[in-house]
Amino acid sequence: MTQVLYGERLGKQGKLRLGTSAIIFDADKRVLLTRRTDNGQWCLPGGAMDSGETAAEACEREVLEETGLHVRVKRLVGVYSDPNRLVIYPDGNKAFIVALSLEAEIVGGELGLSAETTEAGFFSLAEMETMTMFVNHKLRVEDALLNQAEAFIK
């Protein structure tokens, strides 16, 4: 199971990983969330960037892999990192995550599940209050809803 540990500058123990997360709204401003198979938590679709791809390509690829949806990135919502957070994966690898959160729109495909997801659907902020959410993903949605021109750096 993927674990998240907190402690002063704990992130220094992990290897730097750059990742993306997609914020995809429906017409009612509900956001697409997936439930992770590794820890049961709800999260924005996304994952690690591969060498040689743009942030937009990584985001679009991860959404397709996890949900079956084709998306197009519209804007950068924010850059998120926390030097006091360390992610430990089931294989023992430790990571310090820097996440680029990108708003995207659906351009095709059909919502489905993958080996990484057990459930998927669109949820309001109020519904997220009752869900077990992955670290600061709700904050990213709140930031996206502010619709400000400048990206957040947190």
Catalytic residue chosen out of the listed positions 119, 127, 129, 150: 119
pLDDT 10s digits, 7-17:
999 999 999 99
The residues spanned by each domain of the chain are 3-153
CATH of 3-153 given 3.90.650.10, 1.10.1380.10, 3.40.50.300, 3.90.79.10: 3.90.79.10
The pLDDT value recorded for residue 3 is 87
> Per-residue pLDDT for 1 more than 90?
no
pLDDT 10s digits, 12-64:
999 999 999 999 999 999 999 999 998 899 999 999 999 999 999 999 999 99
Q: Is 62 tagged catalytic?
A: no
> The whole model's pTM is what?
0.94
The pLDDT value recorded for residue 42 is 98
The pLDDT value recorded for residue 132 is 96
Residues in the chain: 154
Under the banding of pLDDT at 50, 70 and 90, the label for residue 147 is very high
Query: What is the rounded CA–CA span in Å between residue 65 and residue 4?
Result: 23
Q: What is the dihedral of CA 130, 136, 142, 143, to 10 degrees?
A: 180
CB 32 within 8 A of CB 80: no
